[in-house]
Amino acid sequence: MGTYIIRRLLWVVVLLFLVSLLTFIIFNVFPSADPAALRAGRQPSPELVEQIRKNLGLDRPKIVQFGDYMKDLVLHFDLGYSFQNNASVKSQIFDRLPATLSLTAGAVVVWLLIGLPIGIISAIKRRSLLDRITMGAALVAISAPVYWLGLVALYLFASDIGVVPLFSGSGSYVPFSEDPGKWFSSLLLPWMVLAASFAAFYARLLRGNLIETMSEDYIRTARAKGLRERRVIMRHGVRSAITPIVTVLGLDVGILLGGAILTESVFNIPGIGRLAYDSIIRSDLPMIQGTVLLGAFFIVVANLVVDVAYAFLDPRVRY
């Protein structure tokens, strides 16, 4: 196990380097806009643009820019400074990270509490009226885009503009350190909107896997030994059927920690996704590189955690 983890961690370093290189090539070697011109404002003089380019270091060869960036990153964990406001990229990301962590953690809890029980019940009582209703609702939830569902939820349930004002604080994020109560109320509607499609997908995935698992020979053997049906389902059936769920969960959590752009934009949550979107609009290369690296880091670490968890969930897995 230890050798496997070390090998995977080395691949994490290689992958992050490749992601950084690819991001640099896309946004620097083939830029869609000149960061110096954007920072100079409307109708700037060529001299001002050139001076800004020199101050930002954009006049140096591309390979030198990338080498300096990687040297600062490896030696000092320095992600550089924003082209727009000269703020530290690392400090900007760490300031936004709690909001994204709060959104992701709450949404994960909501969709697991909803999706997994529905998937289990639908698999055990398949073709029943309950199964048809839940799977039909899941199909609708999967088909609804997050941005559309978020706008509809605000229109219906927000305390200020909602037709039925049930959720106060939606659209005005409050940090947990300032007021835990307002933090919870401001994120309750975003959690439900973000979790809707995930809960529906997890329910359908678990239902299909559990139906297949319950027809296996070892399930019939467990029943023949006289084990209670609940124990057969939860201890033998769900434990085997949930392995693909763990795989998808690791990917989804890693992606959301890298930034839930649509949800954060709709509900005005100052997280990593909103920061990445604003940086792309402004062609702020250091900020783009920082957010992309953070997203890639979360994804590869989540995959590593999932792979290690396999050994505890499935006794057939060995490393």
CB 173 within 8 A of CB 162: no
My answer on whether 71 and 177 are in the same domain is: no
Question: Is residue 34 in a domain?
Answer: yes
**Region 279-300 average pLDDT:** 84
My answer on whether 148 and 199 are in the same domain is: yes
Distance (Å, whole) CA 309 – CA 293: 24
Q: Give this prediction's pTM.
A: 0.81
Question: Is residue 287 in a domain?
Answer: no
pLDDT digits (tens, 9 = 90+) for 21-80: 888 887 776 656 677 777 777 777 777 878 877 877 777 888 888 888 888 888 878 888
My answer on whether 64 and 123 are in the same domain is: no
My answer on whether 71 and 131 are in the same domain is: no
Regarding predicted confidence, which is higher, 243 or 28?
243
| Short-list 106, 110, 111, CA closest to 205 | 111
> pLDDT grade, residue 104 (50/70/90)?
very high
Domain that holds residue 54: 2-87
My answer on whether 13 and 134 are in the same domain is: no
pLDDT digits (tens, 9 = 90+) for 205-230: 999 999 988 888 888 888 888 888 88
DSSP annotation of 81 = B
**Region 4-8 average pLDDT:** 77
pLDDT at position 30: 67
- Number of domains within the chain: 2
Question: Is residue 96 in a domain?
Answer: no
Which residue do the tokens 């289990």 mark? 120
Given 87, 116, 150, which residue is the final one in a domain? 87
Task: Give the Å distances, CA to CA, from 238 to 44, 116, 312.
Answer: 64, 10, 14
pLDDT at position 110: 92
Given 87, 121, 152, which residue is the final one in a domain? 87
Percentage, residues of the chain above pLDDT 90:
9
Given a cut of 90, is residue 113 above it in pLDDT? yes
Task: Give the Å distances, CA to CA, from 222 to 204, 208, 211, 214, 226.
Answer: 25, 21, 16, 11, 7
